[in-house]
């Protein structure tokens, strides 16, 4: 796409390389459910768009004879030289007027900016705090002025730019509404003048940023974001005829994945059960009443998560009484009719809908079986107590749940991360959208990102895993109050980050998550 010219690059009409077009649906996920998640084929669409732009440029050159002797003409359009190997330089160039940098060049520059960002897992080592904050504000202004395809490219670039250096990005999620990127995104998400696909990407950005910003905060402030997403979802589904839901599938699915990721932030909230019950009661019809695979799959996953993190008030030492049958368990359940959900999942597993391809049927059945396993396990008190006491059981449900691997995420040629809970899976979805093919690089080299993908905090395993990631109590300031505290000594930052990465790998190996 870009041709090197000494210390500068210039835009050429070469086809984008395959490596440059890899994105959220790339091959980092080895054999799990992540490949089933539809991100709207963002990178494929971008690749096609860039190819179109570059082909248009070729056509323009051909029509003018391909050459010109006018020096001023050579300085225009796609012959303008840009520094494309520097994040600050690209941001500086994007601040220029549209007379100086065309819309075509802006799209190409934003795409290049994104790929530079995801390749650099530790931006704080390349920026000082002041310069990073300045570029962040400038990039936010670029986002606000972006139009059409530029908006899609800009939103993903700034999302990655914030998340890779979240501890220094507080200015964009402060109490100053004029600089609040989350408020900006909420307004854009409900803007019906924007295309369905654009709103879908805005939702992914909104939920990914909320996840990373509020992770470790105890969920304070997250309920309002969850309510916003749920209201948006219900506004679409309750006011849209069933035969018109197809056109809104991208928005509906991205909201469901977003609701799941935000629920993980509320796993220790005192009102967790009430939040879950309200969420499932108001949206369950998307699973039970519609035969739309692209909606059924994320909704079933959401049910799996809710059954997994619901607080059943179990305690070690509880005894199983004869009264603890399926009927009594209904009163201690995320959904008031577990049997209905189990029956529906069985229907979906056995579904032979002629409209679906064999591949779609196979993928759907895999999702529904995994969710069915989760619900069978967590709706059984004996299984829960056995897990709570960390004891093995001869029951098939327990063995299957204990061995359930939802996804494998590639970290290197020889190592992969096993995702064994819906809690971790919903978080992984958000980071996968943000970083695409660069996610494995972020996880391997940025401990702050690596700590996001973990199990439920109040689980014994999760606490140990989280301790390994966080580096112990001596690093508490860095992790627990990231929005108000900054470590300014780069060597100390690097030493802490290195220690965490070592501990993270040790913790993953001990828990069997690294293959």
Q: What is the DSSP string of 168-190?
A: G-GGGGSS-GGG-HHHHHHHHHT
Instruction: Using the predicted structure, report yes or no on whether residue 121 has a pLDDT greater than 70.
Output: yes
- Is residue 134 domain-shared with residue 235, that is, in the same domain? yes
Q: What is the domain range of residue 148?
A: 2-410
501 and 371, same domain (yes or no): no
Give the CATH number of the domain where residue 259 resides: 1.25.10.10
Whether 503 is in a domain gets the answer: yes
C-alpha 235 chain-centroid distance: 23
* Helices first, then strands: H and E counts in the chain: 25, 5
Which of 85-94, 344-353, 469-478 ranks highest by mean pLDDT? 85-94
Residue 464 has pLDDT above 50, yes or no: no
443 and 479 part of one domain: yes
Does the residue 417 lie in any domain? no
Report residue 184 as tokens. Answer: 């900006």
> In this structure, are 290 and 438 located in the same domain?
no
pLDDT in tens, 376-422: 999 988 888 887 775 444 444 555 555 678 887 777 777 778 888 99
pLDDT digits (tens, 9 = 90+) for 102-120: 998 999 999 999 999 998 8
Same domain? For 335 and 446 the reply is no
pLDDT tens figures, 71-105: 334 334 443 556 778 899 999 999 999 999 999 89
Name the domain count of the chain.
2
Calculate ∠ Cα 479-486-454, nearest 5°: 20
Query: How far is C-alpha 349 from the geometric centre of its chain's CA atoms?
Result: 27
| Same structural domain, 340 and 451 | no
The verdict on residue 174 lying in a domain is yes
Select from 410, 442, 467 the last residue of a domain.
Answer: 410
pLDDT (tens digit, 9 = 90+) per residue, 351-387?
Answer: 755 556 666 666 656 899 999 999 999 998 888 888 7
Query: What is the distance between the alpha carbons of residues 333 and 308, in angstroms, rounded to a whole number?
Result: 11
Q: Are residues 293 and 400 in the same domain?
A: yes
If asked whether residues 399 and 438 sit together in one domain, one would say no
∠ CA 124-126-111, nearest 5°, is 95
CB 417 within 8 A of CB 508: yes
Do residue 443 and residue 391 come from a single domain? no
Residue 467 is predicted with a pLDDT of: 43
Looking at the structure, do residues 218 and 332 belong to the same domain, yes or no?
yes
Alpha carbon distance 419, 409 (integer Å): 8
Whether residue 224 lies inside any domain: the answer is yes
Q: What is the mean pLDDT of residues 201-215?
A: 96
For the cut 80, the answer to whether the pLDDT of residue 4 exceeds it is no
Q: Are residues 249 and 209 in the same domain?
A: yes
Helix, strand, or coil here: 64? coil
Count Cβ neighbours within 10 Å for each residue of 19-28 and write b for 16 or more, e otherwise: ebbbbbbbeb
Q: Given this model, what pLDDT does residue 240 score?
A: 73
Mean pLDDT across the stretch 219-235?
A: 95
Domain contains 280: yes
φ, ψ of residue 514 in degrees (nearest 5): -95, 125
Q: Write the pLDDT tens digit of every residue in 242-272.
A: 667 889 999 999 999 999 999 999 998 999 9
Residue 29 lies in a domain: yes
Looking at the domain assignment, is residue 346 inside a domain?
yes
**432-445: string of b/e by CB count within 10 Å (b at 16+)?**
bbbbbbbbbbbbbe
The answer as to whether 515 is a domain residue is: no
CA 38 to chain centroid, in Å, comes to 12
Q: How far apart are CA 353 and CA 275, in angstroms?
A: 34
DSSP 459: S
448 and 500 share one domain: yes
User: If you average pLDDT over residues 18-24, what whole number do you get?
Assistant: 36
């Amino acid at each position: 796409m870009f041709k090197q010219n000494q210390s500068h690059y210039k835009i050429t009409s070469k086809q984008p390389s395959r490596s440059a077009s890899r994105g959220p649906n790339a091959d980092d996920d080895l054999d799990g459910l992540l490949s089933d998640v539809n991100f709207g084929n963002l990178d494929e669409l971008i690749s096609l768009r860039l190819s179109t732009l570059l082909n248009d440029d070729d056509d323009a050159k051909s029509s003018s004879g391909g050459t010109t002797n006018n020096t001023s003409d050579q300085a225009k359009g796609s012959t303008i030289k840009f520094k494309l190997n520097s994040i600050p330089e690209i941001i500086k160039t994007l601040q220029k007027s549209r007379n100086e940098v065309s819309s075509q060049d802006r799209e190409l520059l934003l795409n290049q900016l994104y790929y530079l960002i995801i390749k650099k897992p530790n931006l704080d080592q390349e920026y000082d705090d002041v310069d990073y904050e300045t570029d962040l504000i400038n990039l936010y202004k670029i986002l606000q002025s972006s139009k059409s395809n530029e908006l899609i490219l800009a939103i993903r670039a700034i999302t990655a730019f914030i998340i890779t250096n979240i501890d220094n990005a507080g200015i964009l999620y402060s109490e100053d509404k004029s600089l609040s990127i989350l408020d900006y995104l909420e307004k854009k998400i409900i803007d019906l003048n924007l295309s369905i696909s654009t709103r879908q990407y805005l939702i992914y950005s909104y939920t990914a940023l909320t996840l990373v910003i509020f992770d470790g905060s105890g969920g304070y402030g997250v309920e309002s974001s969850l309510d916003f997403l749920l209201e948006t979802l219900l506004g679409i589904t309750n006011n849209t005829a069933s035969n018109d839901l197809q056109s809104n599938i991208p928005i509906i699915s991205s909201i469901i994945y977003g609701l799941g990721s935000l629920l993980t932030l509320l796993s220790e909230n005192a009102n967790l059960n009430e939040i879950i019950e309200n969420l499932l009661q108001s949206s369950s019809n998307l699973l039970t009443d519609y035969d739309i695979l692209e909606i059924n799959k994320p909704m079933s996953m959401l049910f799996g998560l809710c059954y997994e993190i619901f607080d059943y008030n179990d305690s070690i030492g509880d005894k199983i009484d004869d009264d603890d049958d399926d009927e009594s368990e209904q009163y201690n359940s995320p959904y008031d009719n577990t049997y209905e959900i189990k029956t529906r999942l069985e229907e979906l597993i056995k579904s032979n809908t002629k409209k679906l391809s064999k591949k779609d049927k196979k993928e759907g059945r895999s999702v529904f079986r995994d969710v069915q396993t989760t619900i069978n396990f967590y709706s059984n008190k004996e299984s829960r107590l056995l897990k709570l006491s960390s004891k093995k059981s001869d029951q098939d449900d327990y063995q299957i749940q204990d061995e359930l691997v939802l996804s494998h995420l590639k970290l290197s040629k020889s190592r992969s991360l096993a995702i064994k809970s819906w809690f971790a899976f919903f978080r992984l979805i958000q980071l996968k959208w943000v970083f695409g093919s660069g996610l494995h690089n972020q996880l391997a080299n940025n401990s702050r990102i690596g700590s996001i993908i973990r199990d439920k905090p109040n689980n014994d395993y999760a606490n140990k895993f989280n301790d390994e990631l966080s580096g112990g109590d001596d690093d508490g300031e860095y992790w627990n109050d990231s929005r108000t505290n900054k470590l300014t000594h780069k060597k100390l930052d690097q030493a802490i980050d290195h220690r965490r990465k070592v501990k993270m790998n040790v913790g993953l190996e001990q828990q069997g998550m690294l293959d």
